[in-house]
Amino acid sequence: MRLQATLPAVLSVVLGVLLASSGHAQQSFPPQATTAGAESLQDLAKDSLNPFAEFLKVPFQFTTGFGVGSHDRVGASLNVEPLQRFVLNADWDIIARPSLSVTYAPGPNEQFGLQDLQTTFFLTPAKDKTWIWGVGPIFQFPTASSERLGTGRWSAGPTAALVYEQGPWFAAILSYQLMSFAGDRGRGSVNQTYIEPQVSYSLDSGWYGQWDPAMTYNWTADTANAWTIPAGVDIGKAFKIGEQAMSLQVGGYDYPMHPDGAPQWIIRAQMTFLFPNGPSKK
């Protein structure tokens, strides 16, 4: 399916879901709504990193990759990954997290445009706990604007996450298995495992340090090109401008293991906006 036919429909669904659910949350829980003003800067720092946050969370992440290809060129991408919590009932919530990237891939045959759209759904307990888990499906749609920037395949699979939060510490692990089931069979199969461990320590001032390497294993590649493993750290700060809660972080990651042609190291910066959403469980 061509991008012109697929992308508007997919984006319309994603935006419609987010707007409708945001409105539903505001109508359902006005007396007990989670407000940025009630949260300490330390709590906001952890919320900005939490894949199960009670806020409507909108992060924008800009990544610059260095050492791309045989001529060590520079590439870049901008990722938007909003997170919205749906209240299913008194005991369960559903979390939706679409992810869309705009990417510049350097020459030869340089490309600039959209990558494939991913959307993740988690079923998670509604009650607040030190340990929180979630499971659900992940879908990937062939929305890339060029062959180099996408897979050309419709893919899906299971995903799961586990979160621990205690005092200044926050830790999580998120994983999924993505496999293709339709699309352009001439492009080859998608069979990828994703593992993202995360550990952070936040101060009362809102400053935090984070270790967040996103690792992948491509089961269709040869052994030398299968793993992508980064090593690095991020430093960030949560703050408020008026009533608007947000965070800003920057980090650097080296890639001791990466496929041929992929970046050898990256610098990434992220700005996250937090909006009230749902009942407070503090």
Decide if 233 is inside a domain.
yes
What would the pLDDT profile of 130-170 be if each residue is shown by its tens digit?
A: 899 999 999 999 999 999 999 999 999 999 999 999 999 99
Per-residue pLDDT of the chain (282 residues; tens, 9 = 90+): 343 444 444 444 444 444 444 444 443 333 334 455 568 999 999 999 999 988 899 999 999 999 998 889 999 999 999 999 999 999 999 999 999 999 999 988 899 999 999 999 999 998 767 899 999 999 999 999 999 999 999 999 999 999 999 999 999 999 999 999 999 988 999 999 999 999 999 999 999 999 999 999 999 999 999 999 999 999 999 999 999 999 999 999 999 999 999 999 999 999 999 998 644 444
- The boundaries of the domain holding residue 155 are 3-275
Q: Is residue 281 part of a domain?
A: no
Structural domain includes residue 232: yes
CB 19 within 8 A of CB 27: no
46 neighbors 165 (Cβ within 8 angstroms): yes
The answer as to whether 246 is a domain residue is yes
226 within domain boundaries: yes
Beta carbons of 153 and 142 less than 8 angstroms apart:
yes
Q: Looking at the 3D structure of the chain, how many domains does it have? A: 1
**CATH number of the domain that residue 235 is part of:** 2.40.160.40
Is 57 inside a domain boundary? yes
Residue 151 inside a domain? The answer is yes
Q: What is the pTM of this model?
A: 0.84
For residue 174, the cross-strand partners are: 161, 196
3-state secondary structure the chain: CCHHHHHHHHHHHHHHHHHHHHHHHHHHCCCCECCHHHCCHHHHHHHHHCCCCCCEEEEEEEEEEEEECCCCEEEEEEEECCEEEEECCCCEEEEEEEEEEEEEECCCCCEEEECCEEEEEEEEECCCCCEEEEEEEEEEECCCCCHHHCCCEEEEEEEEEEEEEECCEEEEEEEEEEEEEEECHHHCCCEEEEEEEEEEEECCCCEEEEECCCEEEECCCCHHHCEEEEEEEEEEEEEEECCEEEEEEEEEEEEEECCCCCCCEEEEEEEEEEECCCECCC
| 280 found inside a domain | no
pLDDT digits (tens, 9 = 90+) for 196-223: 999 999 999 999 999 999 999 999 999 9
